[in-house]
Amino acid sequence: MSTKLTQIQIGQRLTELRKVKGLSQSDLAKRIKISRSSLAQIELGNRGVDSLELQNFSVVLGFSLDDFMSKDFTAIKRLENRDEIKIEELIERISVPTLSVNKFKNVLLYILERCGGKPNVGETVLYKLLYFSDFNYYELYEDHLTGASYRKLPFGPVPQKLDSIIDQMLQEGRLQRVKTEYHGFSQTRYLPLEKANLTHLKASEKEVIDRVIDQMSDWSASAISNYSHKDMPWLASKEGEEINYELVFYRDAPFSVRNYGDENDEQ
């Protein structure tokens, strides 16, 4: 049975179908012949879709308009009815971060190697440098840097499993934990006891990390926390929940690190 859908519902269904197809926003926007920023607004529910655009979506994403407008439509249910596609294949197609522990350790060592000696770089600043490195890389390349998952906590985004990784590195003699005082506040800092193995980092990954360090490593804990709280992935997430990497595509200046000028010209 067909039903009247809100812009938000249409955007959610198109997002789900795009992910099922394994398409990036840029890929789908090019096929539909709209700008990536327009597609982002459609998926967010901030922009409507006319009948011609919806027809184009149906051709590219492979759905019927009757099914799409039905009350109980979901992309997963639609695939379950097709023998040739298994749920395992669906899961593989959807971009889910998978933590690379070795990559994460080397990124952590590299950040500390470059700025761990700065008196302001305690745990709070370190967590934010990791967060912006991961999320900026994903916005630029639509691929994960460390694959770490981040949770929205009161003082900002925090990488999950970080405590266990740091404990491992302390036991391995790769890090030293020190307690210091900075501007009258107690602070936990980490010092690298070995250099990062840069063979584990691509040139593009190192470049993104360097930009984050150059921009933010001199900021105070309160300054970088306040900045992270204005970033769209943080704003759009619920307290205590995992922050979705896809939210980087809804960033505005000064947070967006990707030049969408060429894509906007397509519109």
Reported as a single tens digit per residue, the pLDDT across 6-15 is 888 899 889 8
> Residue 107's closest CA among 32, 208, 188?
208
What domains appear along the chain, each with residue ranges and CATH number?
7-93 (1.10.260.40), 101-257 (no CATH)
pLDDT the model gives residue 65:
87
For a pLDDT cut of 90, what percent of the chain falls above it? 51
Please state the φ and ψ torsions of residue 191, each to the nearest 5 degrees.
Answer: -115, 135
Kindly state the average pLDDT of the residues 111-122.
93
- Structure tokens of 142? 């639509």
Q: Render pLDDT for 255-267 as a digit per residue (tens, 0 to 9).
A: 999 876 544 444 4
Per DSSP bridges, beta strands 156-159 and 175-182 are unpaired
Sorted by sequence, the CB contacts under 8 Å of residue 134 that are 6+ apart come out as 144, 145, 146, 148, 150, 159, 245
Statement: residue 145 has pLDDT above 90 = yes
**Which residue's structure tokens are 């993104």?**
208
Lowest mean pLDDT among 74-88, 104-118, 240-254: 74-88
CA angle at 98 for the pair 11 and 239, rounded to the nearest 5° = 55
Question: What does the chain come to in residues?
Answer: 267
- Asked if residues 255 and 231 have their Cβ atoms less than 8 Å apart, the reply is yes
> Residue 128's closest CA among 141, 145, 111, 144?
111
* DSSP assignment of 199-224: GGS-HHHHHHHHHHHHHHTTS-HHHH
- Asked if residues 33 and 266 have their Cβ atoms less than 8 Å apart, the reply is yes
Longest dimension (CA), the chain: 64
- Structure tokens of 160? 């999950």
CA distance linking residue 228 with residue 175, whole number of Å: 26
